[in-house]
Amino acid sequence: MSQPSFQSFADLFQSSEFIHRHVGISQDEKEAMLKAVGADSMASFIEQTVPASVRLSKELDLPLSMTEHDALAKLRGLADKIKVNKSYIGLGYYPTRLPAVIARNVLENPGWYTAYTPYQAEIAQGRLEALLNFQQVCIDLSGLELAGASLLDEATAAAEAMAMAKRVGKSKSNQFFVDSRIYPQTLDVIKTRAKYFGWEVVVGDFDVAKNGDFFGAIFQYVGAQGDVVDLTDIISAVKAKGTQTIVAADVMSLVLLKSPGSMGADVALGNTQRFGVPMGFGGPHAAYFAFKDSAKRSAPGRIIGVSVDAQGKQALRMALQTREQHIRREKANSNICTSQVLLANLAGMYAVYHGPEGVKRIATRIHALASAFAQAIKQAGMSIVHEQFFDTVLINTDGQTEQIYQNALNIGYNLRKVDDNHIAIAFNETSDAADFGVLTQLFTGVAAQLSDDISLSLPASLLRTDAILSHPVFNRYHTEHEMLRYLKKLENKDLAMNHSMISLGSCTMKLNATSEMLPITWNEFTNVHPFAPREQVGGYIEMIEGLQEQLKAITGFDAISMQPNSGASGEYAGLLAIRRYHESLGQPNRHICLIPRSAHGTNPATAQMMGMEVVVVATDERGNVDIADLTQKAEKYSDNLGALMITYPSTHGVFEEGIRDICDLIHQHGGQVYMDGANMNAQVSMMQPADVGADVLHMNLHKTFCIPHGGGGPGMGPIGMKSHLAPFIANHVVSAVPNAQDGMSAVSAAPFGSASILPISWMYITMMGRDGLVQATEAALLNANYTAMKLKDHYPVLYSGENGRVAHECIIDIRPLKAETGITEVDIAKRLMDYGFHAPTMSFPVAGTLMIEPTESESKEELDRFISALIQIKAEAMKVKNGDWPADNNPLVNAPHTAQVVTGDWDRPYSREEAAYPLAYVRDNKFWPSASRIDDVYGDKNLICSCPDISSYENGEIAE
């Protein structure tokens, strides 16, 4: 027996163990790959890849790596500093119960949370069905004709509704009316958004709405203080003047209350958090957004639609994609690049599992408890302010607010202080008879007993009479066994990271480690209200501030804002800080935003939302910013130059040598440099954006820092900024952000955005440490260059740096192959599904290309499988060219091949084996697409965005 190779206790304790769990290539593989790319060491490879002009010459100011166990123990220590009181605060956030079968099989299941946005619909039918269910819930409850597949949160959804009202309305007014009963955080975000569109926000009561001239008006239903008002008459009055009407409605209340659609609203929106999604100190939560059919081409966000596949079978897809920012850029409807798919799926499945009777029972219980509480208060001689309410009772305290509030805190209850004479109590799904007794005793001195007879305070005129959730999907999965199987059936239709590599360029689909994910379900992180007293959440704030310090060390910036809850939101917050900075210098005229042609579509969309004029800068033949064109435009617009938005490394996957000179040029002309952090996976430990000249940068925590994409969300996009911009970060009107300045209105509904997913990134950085982060970036760069080198003889690699190196991603050019064979990038994307892979990013940033980002988490073996698939596909294309297969009937144009197609009648000029098992490895781990190629044109021409009608279920069209 050979002697153990361990030489010390340091070897045995192996504090760096997690690094080797996260980085996919072994030392032997690393050496083989370095040899393959022509480098004699990792150090020389990095010298050839990362320009000396930007390369970091020091270690990051972070601790060394930590084991998973030790990191979890450290985070546990912070969680123990969080006190989880029973929450009766309300204001849009409520305790709820996520059914365990959904928690285990969706929220905690990598088959659901590691998938990408369903752009490749044929391998995303499960997620798409779940989103269609979500849309149907929103359609049913809102009473409107269409609904989207989620927005970021209620406040930003309200801001999007305001913008849509201006787009679709005919009013020439520049004023937007806001109901004084609205949630304060929603008003704050509306004000932020309106300012740079040049719109005036008018806050008032219904008389103000009736008497003014507004292009849009938003009303809260239920009001922030709990009152329920029939909006039919006020909606009718303002619509008569050409005003677009919007209702922000509590989703649980709509189970009982008449719908916004029935009252005449054009748009309804709100938070679906109450449908099983934990409060999470503010998020993530899926906002719903429902609207009339006439507005479908102007609505923000994504819509799931029903189409057909190549076999004529019903299939789902993302509809109307031409509205999205990656195509329309500054003319896009919104810059909502990240929706909240995972959270929308949770809310939709909550409705599926409970069904109409279940959700009615929950909503009725909430209202009945509130009604019984109000009755007990009145019987004790106290008074309530509103007689019509759903869940929130506003009580006159006669100056006793502070005493009652403190007494409640002492026994573990959080109430909402409205003022010295009023307290609001918001009942929720978890409220029970024991809570009823405690709350009545707090106000009356006597713990009332809950009678078995229920009495509802809402009048019949306010209650809905139409059916909700009548589709079969909401009426067949009410046992756990049936629900479990339904969730598994949907999961099996989707390709996620637990099956194979997802090589999407610029999207960084890397390992989301289990130890990173575990804490998001801890009680302390999930069940805290975002407006809980700060003395209760010290551990939460400590964790967030710890993550801020980690990100400062990585980026070199002086300050970090955690509020933006997506990458696109981070872009907005970054430009907002720049505009506020220019205004502070008396230069509001600096509204020109220079954006390279290669930029993400979110960049020009964001600039437009900030009231900036986009001026496009050319790129050269190597994909770099054209310095001459940039210089000419910087000089031309010098007096009004506000910002340059630039991605680094570039969207073309190259470290540009001249980035310092580019930043210096912009600063010379009075502008600020906004760096898009989409490609940070190539930066960490190699360079610091603050060091090379960036003033502000957003960081996609759902990319570089391991928060999973969740099938299209959640995401987080915090921004780092230099000290001169730090005073202009977003604050919060309800719960102040530490170190933020007064008057700096919010960009998101909650002070720290989607706070409950921040432990994921905290855990990743803590476990990797400064030593692990270096290795991760080295591996990401090596994997990309290895892939490019292996493919370059088969597909041209479009761009590379000075030494022929790419950064963390490479673009392969399909246009020559298309010219030679007729096979397109779409054909290759669909054919990859037959090999068990999701396609790389298609036709971005250059049409007719595929952008590949392997990430550091993939092994050499997985890379080689993917490379062999692309090489084999090239060989298949040559068979088409050579006439072995017809141009209109070959495995590429017919891809993907479903099991039903392969086992059915077969008269194709290639074999079933060639269709289903094109390489030997595929047989060992076959993924069967559940739909043949989907007809996008048909789906847009015949737009159906709700669950298919009942006859479709009865005749078996969508039974499986």
Contact in structure between 182 and 248 (CB atoms under 8 Å): yes
> How high is the pLDDT of residue 954?
42
Q: What is the mean pLDDT of the chain?
A: 94
Contact in structure between 106 and 487 (CB atoms under 8 Å): yes
Rounded Cα–Cα distance for residues 454 and 446 (Å): 20
Rounded Cα–Cα distance for residues 7 and 291 (Å): 67
Q: Quick one: 923 exposed, middle or buried, by C-beta within 10 A (0-12, 13-18, 19+)?
A: exposed
Contact in structure between 124 and 118 (CB atoms under 8 Å): yes
Q: Which two tokens stand for residue 583?
A: 């205004």
As a whole number, mean pLDDT of residues 487-504 equals 98
Using the CB atoms, write b or e for 496-527: b if 16+ within 10 Å.
Answer: bbebbbbbbbbbbbbbbbebbbbbbebebbbb
As a whole number, mean pLDDT of residues 80-107 equals 98
Q: Which two tokens stand for residue 334?
A: 């919104």
- Tokens 């050269």 label which residue? 620
Q: Which two tokens stand for residue 882?
A: 């050579």
Rounded Cα–Cα distance for residues 307 and 959 (Å): 16
What is the chain's Cα-based Rg?
28
Q: What angle do CA 522, 518, 859 make, to 5 degrees?
A: 170
> How high is the pLDDT of residue 955?
45
Residue 135 has pLDDT above 70, yes or no: yes
Q: Which two tokens stand for residue 425?
A: 């109590």
Residue 820 has pLDDT above 90, yes or no: yes
Q: What DSSP string describes 1-69? A: -PPP---SHHHHH-TTHHHHHHS---HHHHHHHHHHTT-SSHHHHHHHHS-TTT---S--SSPPP--HH
As a whole number, mean pLDDT of residues 575-582 equals 98
Looking at per-residue pLDDT, the higher value among 560 and 941 belongs to 560
Residues 6+ apart with CB under 8 A from 481: none
Per residue in 670-695, pLDDT (tens digit) is 999 999 999 999 999 999 999 999 99
Instruction: Write the DSSP symbol of residue 104.
Output: I
Per residue in 700-736, pLDDT (tens digit) is 999 999 999 999 999 999 999 999 999 999 999 999 9
- The 3-state DSSP composition of the chain as helix, strand, coil percent (nearest 5) reads 45, 15, 45
Per residue in 23-79, pLDDT (tens digit) is 999 999 999 999 999 999 999 999 999 999 999 999 999 999 999 999 999 999 999
Per residue in 850-880, pLDDT (tens digit) is 999 999 999 999 999 999 999 999 999 999 9
Contact in structure between 81 and 545 (CB atoms under 8 Å): no
For the chain, percent of residues with pLDDT exceeding 90: 90
Q: Which two tokens stand for residue 804?
A: 């022929």
Contact in structure between 343 and 137 (CB atoms under 8 Å): no
> How high is the pLDDT of residue 329?
59
Instruction: Write the DSSP symbol of residue 842.
Output: E
> How high is the pLDDT of residue 758?
98
Residue 752 has pLDDT above 80, yes or no: yes
Per residue in 233-259, pLDDT (tens digit) is 999 999 999 999 999 999 999 999 999
What 3-state DSSP class applies to 851? strand
